[in-house]
Amino acid sequence: MKTKHMMGIGSVIPVIFWGTLTVCGYVMGDYNHLTRLVSELGAMGTGTQYMFTAGLLTCAILSVLFVIGLCQECKMRKISMIPAWIILTFSISLAGAALFPLPLRQHLWAGMPSIALFLSPLAALILWRGEKAPANLRLWAIVSLAVMLLGFLAFMPEVLGAWPGLKQRFFHIGWSLWFIGLGRGFIGEGAGGD
């Protein structure tokens, strides 16, 4: 697979993720995206469990391909691969959340590595400087980092307490923006392997 195609996956993953959430929420019927958690869509025994699992596993596999493409681009440009490698924490979490649905205890542990994902745009801001880094990526990194950090409100029950789904979705919007920005940033400047 060409690096350019792997970079394009950065925009596909959010579409599949949000599409899965939307369809599963619709099928569930009484699901409110602002008040209920994402994982409830894939809970054991729900009518959407297997659809949710398939969507998350697809995103996890595509995320690994995306990381491979990012690493190839970083190597070609001679810039640090650390921001790309950090994304693997998210890939692992997606797969874990899919394979260990609620209410399994492993579900919580499987989701924990994704907390480190905010370090990817932060590392990019620090490590990807100069002419070899995509020029337009700084704004994507700043915006996605800010939105992802809003997701940490999920650990503050007193803030927006009635809206746990909204707080969780800040994180998901943030990584979606980061993936889109990464893919477009590298493709826009001619991804290798064309």
**pLDDT of amino acid 182:** 96
Q: Considering the domain boundaries, does residue 16 fall inside one? A: yes
Does residue 40 belong to any structural domain of this protein? yes
88-97, 137-146, 149-158, 183-192 — which is least confidently predicted? 183-192
Question: Is-contact 35 53, C-beta < 8 A?
Answer: no
What does each C-alpha distance from 194 to 7, 63, 148, 189, 191 come to in angstroms? 11, 20, 32, 12, 7
Does the structure show a pLDDT above 90 at 189? no
pLDDT number for residue 1: 76
Higher pLDDT, 19 or 191: 19
Diameter of the chain by CA atoms? 52
Decide if pLDDT at 193 tops 60: no
Q: What is the pLDDT of residues 45-63, one digit of tens each?
A: 999 999 999 999 999 999 9
| Structural domain total, the chain | 1
* 99: in domain: yes
Name the amino acid, one letter, at 153.
L
Confidence label for 194 from pLDDT (cuts 50, 70 and 90): very low
Q: Which domain holds residue 92?
A: 3-185
pLDDT per position as a tens digit, 99-145: 999 999 999 899 889 999 999 999 999 999 888 888 789 999 999 99
For the segment 76-95, what is each residue's pLDDT rounded down to a tens digit?
999 999 999 999 999 999 99
pTM over 0.85? The answer is yes
**Across the chain, what does the average pLDDT equal?**
93
Domain membership flag for residue 191: no
Q: Identify the residue whose tokens are 């915006």.
A: 143
Reported as a pLDDT band with limits 50, 70 and 90, residue 188 is confident
In a domain, 147, yes or no: yes
Cα separation, 129 vs 124, whole angstroms: 8
DSSP calls for 120-144? HHHHHHHH--STTS-TTHHHHHHHH
pLDDT band per the 50, 70, 90 thresholds, residue 192? low
